[in-house]
Amino acid sequence: MPPPINTAELLREHGLRPSKKLGQNFLQDPAILDKIVQIAEVTENDTVLEIGPGLGSLTRHLALSAKEVVAIEIDKKIIPALRASLDGYSNVKVIEGDVLETVPAEVINASEYLVVANIPYYITSAILRHLLENNPRPSRMVLTIQKEVAQRICANKGKMSLLALSVHVYGHPEIIANIPAGAFYPLPKVDSAVIRIALHDEPRIPVYLLDAFFRLAKAGFGQKRKTLRNSLSAGLHIPTSQSEELLINSGIEPRRRAETLTLEEWVLLTENWSKS
Ligand code: SAM
């Protein structure tokens, strides 16, 4: 294990304060950092993409197990402290920038990679979309996120959301561990969990239907308490007679709500809609 970082002291030394706006709650418990690397099953053959290395506590743990770590950090003010903390870790490449504006393939020097990160919670959905929709996709992701969001992503039958559905198209998400607030500095106001997403080789929706699928799903979830008959009609700007026919032809009762559909039913619905 690398020597632990004293977050408060390092911040003080560099005249820094944690930025709430950038979601800066730093992980500093060495046992938890080690556990995250184990959950990700990082080996010396792996290239790891880390989002938001902050002061480098997770980065250092990753660097000891991985072949290379590419770490993207947006906060220019924290970079000198990060570089100091990573002094001597020669297999880490720090990229100064916004992960949402960075194409992984352009910064990673490998055909396969993993993502392991304690991400800024305020852009969880955007990060997931960005990583899942860019090619090549990572082979797996191990992310520390807000527990409530982790539960939403991992929800299954009957409790699907647009976010869960978007993740399930690309991979299988699981909650692996809960992280106590005391593992962070400063203490977060929300509970946290580690999720692992094992990516499918191919998305569960044929690639040529992905756009149509997301249009349908956005329409379906757009009007929360409405039946699919009505939400699809409103979201797709089609008469209810047409949305009803589409649903019936796909074997779906038109009064059901979006959250009750399985991924397989969405696939069928998309195929039928694209034919119509
Ligand atoms: N990995 C560190 C740790 O566990 O101690 C820090 C995690 S902290 C929750 C999130 C980090 O993401 C912060 O360092 C923050 O500055 C950075 N960050 C926030 N928005 C970002 C963005 N759009 N692109 C890259 N990094 C970002």
CATH at residue 160 = 3.40.50.150
Is 94 part of a structural domain of the chain? Answer: yes
Distance 52 CA to ligand 1 centre (A): 3
Is 164 part of a structural domain of the chain? Answer: yes
Query: Can you tell me the distance from the alpha carbon of 152 to that of 43, in angstroms, rounded to the nearest whole number?
Result: 30
| Same domain? 144 vs 49 | yes
Note the pLDDT of residue 97: 98
Q: What is the per-residue pLDDT across 38-57, written as a single tens digit (0 to 9) for each?
A: 999 999 999 999 999 999 99
Indicate which CATH number applies to the domain containing 224: 1.10.8.100
Please say whether the beta carbons of 84 and 60 come within 8 A. no
What's at 55, amino acid-wise? L
| Same domain? 166 vs 264 | no
| Same domain? 16 vs 60 | yes
Report, in this order, helix, strand and coil percent for the chain, each rounded to 5.
Answer: 45, 20, 35
The three-state secondary structure class of 217 is helix
Note the pLDDT of residue 273: 94
pLDDT band at 6 (very low <50, low <70, confident <90, very high): very high
Q: Tell me what the pLDDT averaged over the chain comes to.
A: 95
Is 248 part of a structural domain of the chain? Answer: yes
| Same domain? 26 vs 128 | yes
Residue 201: partners with Cβ closer than 8 Å, 6 or more residues away = none
Q: E-assigned strands of the chain?
A: 26-27, 47-51, 68-73, 92-96, 114-118, 140-146, 171-179, 184-185, 192-199
| Same domain? 263 vs 177 | no
Whether the predicted pLDDT of 225 surpasses 90:
no
Is 1 part of a structural domain of the chain? Answer: no
| Same domain? 164 vs 69 | yes
Distance 234 CA to ligand 1 centre (A): 38
Ligand 1 mutation pick, 55, 62, 70, 74, max ligand atoms within 8 A of CB: 74
Domain count, the chain: 2
Q: What are phi and psi of 2, to 5 degrees?
A: -75, 160
| Same domain? 162 vs 44 | yes
Kindly state if the Cβ of 79 falls inside 6 Å of ligand 1.
Answer: no
| Same domain? 191 vs 211 | no
The three-state secondary structure class of 138 is coil
Last residue of some domain: 168, 199, 230?
Answer: 199
b/e sequence 132-162, b meaning 16+ C-beta within 10 Å: beeeebbebbbbbbbbebbebbbbeeeebbb
Is 60 part of a structural domain of the chain? Answer: yes
Distance 98 CA to ligand 1 centre (A): 10
| Same domain? 131 vs 87 | yes
Quick one: average pLDDT of 81-107? Answer: 97
Distance 172 CA to ligand 1 centre (A): 24
Query: By alpha-carbon position, which residue is closest to atom 5 of ligand 1?
Result: 26
Last residue of some domain: 148, 178, 199?
Answer: 199
Is 232 part of a structural domain of the chain? Answer: yes
| Same domain? 18 vs 62 | yes
Query: By alpha-carbon position, which residue is closest to atom 20 of ligand 1?
Result: 22
Note the pLDDT of residue 223: 82
Distance 253 CA to ligand 1 centre (A): 44
Kindly state if the Cβ of 24 falls inside 6 Å of ligand 1.
Answer: yes
Is 2 part of a structural domain of the chain? Answer: no
Query: By alpha-carbon position, which residue is closest to atom 14 of ligand 1?
Result: 54
Query: By alpha-carbon position, which residue is closest to atom 18 of ligand 1?
Result: 52
| Same domain? 166 vs 241 | no
Q: Which residues constitute the domain of residue 89?
A: 7-199
pLDDT band at 156 (very low <50, low <70, confident <90, very high): confident
Last residue of some domain: 176, 199, 222?
Answer: 199
Helix (H) or strand (E) holding 168: helix 162-170
Is 73 part of a structural domain of the chain? Answer: yes
| Same domain? 214 vs 106 | no
